[in-house]
């Protein structure tokens, strides 16, 4: 990762647009790349993210976290793909935990998009680096992910995600006994004000977020749940369960180490050995673009999660 840069706005630069000022300072970086830094909230002025046209004042401090340039082409890679379903319109895969969906800062290779480019050369998409990808799963989350085979199908599916008619089901294991056993977590979230790699309700730009849930089974010290996100915010399920005091097992970003004091040493040991989130996208229901009828795709709980849950339940 490139090192952050701190800049103090001089009298001469006062009144300039933020993007213009950065372009003059980073002369070897394109305007489009600088704009990407700004809209990705990698540029903060006086500890707040700003828009490209923000007018600067003398004495202000800007913090810039440069992003490496995007590759011009997606590199096909012969990586294994677990295909759950394929027809003329879509491909449905079971994404493994640890695989990033599409290239981005720090992850230009080894992604699902790289694998798709190798195995399905005919897929087209809105962006060259994201062939057919309509939605995504976090790196640490496994499960069902659908890919469009052409732009018409991509648009058809994208409208379903935007209108929230897609039904999504996740399996998760949580610390503690979640009560009530069924409910709705309605909590707006966004980029955390202090820790920008995290999502939280402590944000300047809260966005609507709702997660329904149902406890499947209570285990000693844990709750096995199904979660049904009604919105699709980044880290939504993880943040919502953390907020109500029951973070997802294996989530090093949102679960505090203090939770391990609530369980015995043998349980803590097997959880640490898991080396992934206990979060799995188990089912996805969409209206199929060809049949115009609902179609559900399912992915079984990965063996490592099933074994951990059985072990903790003993």
CATH number at residue 195: 3.30.2350.10
Helix (H, G, I), strand (E, B) or coil at 112: helix
- E-strand spans in 137-243? 142-148, 167-175, 182-186, 190-191, 199-200, 210-219, 222-229
Strand-pair partners of 179 = none
Decide if 112 is inside a domain. yes
How many Cβ atoms from other residues are within 10 Å of residue 244's Cβ? Answer: 16
Q: Identify the CA nearest to 95 among candidates 111, 72, 71, 117.
A: 111
In this structure, the answer to whether residues 278 and 173 fall within a common structural domain is yes
Strand-pair partners of 94 = 144
In this structure, the answer to whether residues 171 and 306 fall within a common structural domain is yes
Contacts 24+ apart (CB under 8 A), 234-237: 234/138, 234/199, 235/138, 235/189, 235/198, 235/199, 236/189, 236/199, 236/209, 236/211, 237/170, 237/172, 237/211, 237/279
What's the CA gap between 255 and 195, in Å, rounded? 15
pTM: 0.77
Residue 20, class by beta-carbon neighbours within 10 Å (0-12 exposed, 13-18 middle, 19+ buried)?
A: middle
Decide if 75 is inside a domain. no
Decide if 57 is inside a domain. yes
* Parallel/antiparallel/unpaired status of strands 61-64 and 43-45: antiparallel
pLDDT at 28: 74
Query: What pLDDT band is residue 1 in, cutting at 50, 70 and 90?
Result: very low
In this structure, the answer to whether residues 298 and 217 fall within a common structural domain is yes
Decide if 76 is inside a domain. no
In this structure, the answer to whether residues 134 and 232 fall within a common structural domain is no
In this structure, the answer to whether residues 44 and 182 fall within a common structural domain is no
Whether 82 is a known active-site residue: answer no
In this structure, the answer to whether residues 109 and 35 fall within a common structural domain is no
Question: What would the pLDDT profile of 2-33 be if each residue is shown by its tens digit?
Answer: 678 999 999 999 999 999 999 888 877 778 78
In this structure, the answer to whether residues 58 and 133 fall within a common structural domain is no
Which of 144, 162, 180 is a domain's end point?
162
What's the CA gap between 247 and 263, in Å, rounded? 14
Decide if 78 is inside a domain. no
In this structure, the answer to whether residues 305 and 209 fall within a common structural domain is yes
- Indicate the number of domains in the chain: 3
In this structure, the answer to whether residues 247 and 115 fall within a common structural domain is no
In this structure, the answer to whether residues 289 and 192 fall within a common structural domain is yes
Question: What would the pLDDT profile of 141-179 be if each residue is shown by its tens digit?
Answer: 999 999 999 989 999 999 999 999 999 999 999 999 999
Q: Identify the CA nearest to 192 among candidates 176, 180, 183, 203.
A: 203
Here the CATH number for the domain that contains residue 16 is 3.10.290.10
Q: Maximum Cα–Cα distance for the chain, whole Å?
A: 69
pLDDT at 69: 61
**CB 134, CB 155: distance < 8 Å:** no
Residue 255 has pLDDT above 90, yes or no: no
Decide if 223 is inside a domain. yes
Q: Kindly state the average pLDDT of the residues 120-147.
A: 84
Which of 162, 189, 213 is a domain's end point?
162
Question: What would the pLDDT profile of 40-80 be if each residue is shown by its tens digit?
Answer: 889 999 989 999 999 999 999 999 988 766 655 678 899 99
Which one is catalytic: 138, 186, 192, 275?
A: 138
Domain residue limits at 202: 167-313
In this structure, the answer to whether residues 59 and 99 fall within a common structural domain is no
Mean pLDDT of the chain: 90
Decide if 53 is inside a domain. yes
Strand-pair partners of 48 = 45
In this structure, the answer to whether residues 22 and 137 fall within a common structural domain is no
Decide if 73 is inside a domain. no
Helix (H, G, I), strand (E, B) or coil at 40: coil
């Amino acid at each position: 990762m490139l090192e952050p840069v701190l800049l103090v706005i001089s009298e001469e630069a006062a009144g300039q647009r933020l993007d213009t000022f950065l372009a003059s300072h980073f002369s070897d970086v394109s305007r489009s790349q600088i704009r990407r830094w700004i809209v990705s909230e990698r540029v903060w002025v006086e500890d707040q993210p700003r828009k490209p046209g923000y007018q600067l004042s003398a004495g202000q401090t800007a913090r810039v976290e440069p992003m490496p340039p995007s590759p011009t082409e997606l590199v096909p890679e012969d990586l294994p793909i677990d295909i759950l379903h394929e027809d003329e319109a879509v491909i449905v895969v079971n994404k493994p935990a640890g695989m990033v969906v599409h290239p981005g800062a720090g992850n230009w290779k080894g992604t699902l998009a790289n694998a798709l480019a190798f195995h399905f050369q005919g897929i087209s998409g809105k962006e060259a680096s994201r062939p057919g990808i309509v939605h995504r799963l976090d790196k640490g989350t496994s499960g069902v992910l659908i890919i469009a085979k052409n732009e018409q199908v991509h648009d058809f599916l994208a409208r379903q995600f935007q209108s929230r008619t897609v039904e999504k089901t996740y399996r998760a294991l949580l610390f503690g006994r979640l009560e009530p056993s069924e409910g709705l977590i309605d909590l707006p979230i966004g980029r955390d004000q202090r820790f920008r790699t995290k999502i939280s309700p402590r944000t300047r730009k809260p966005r609507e977020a709702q997660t329904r849930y149902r406890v499947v089974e209570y285990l000693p010290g844990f709750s096995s749940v199904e979660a049904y996100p009604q919105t699709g915010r980044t880290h939504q399920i993880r943040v919502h369960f953390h907020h109500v005091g029951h973070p997802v097992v294996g989530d090093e970003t949102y679960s505090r180490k203090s939770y391990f004091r609530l369980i015995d040493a043998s349980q803590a040991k097997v959880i640490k050995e898991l080396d992934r989130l206990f979060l799995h996208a188990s089912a996805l229901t969409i209206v199929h673009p060809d049949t115009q009828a609902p179609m559900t795709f399912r992915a079984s709980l990965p063996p490592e999660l099933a074994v951990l849950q059985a072990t903790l339940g003993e």
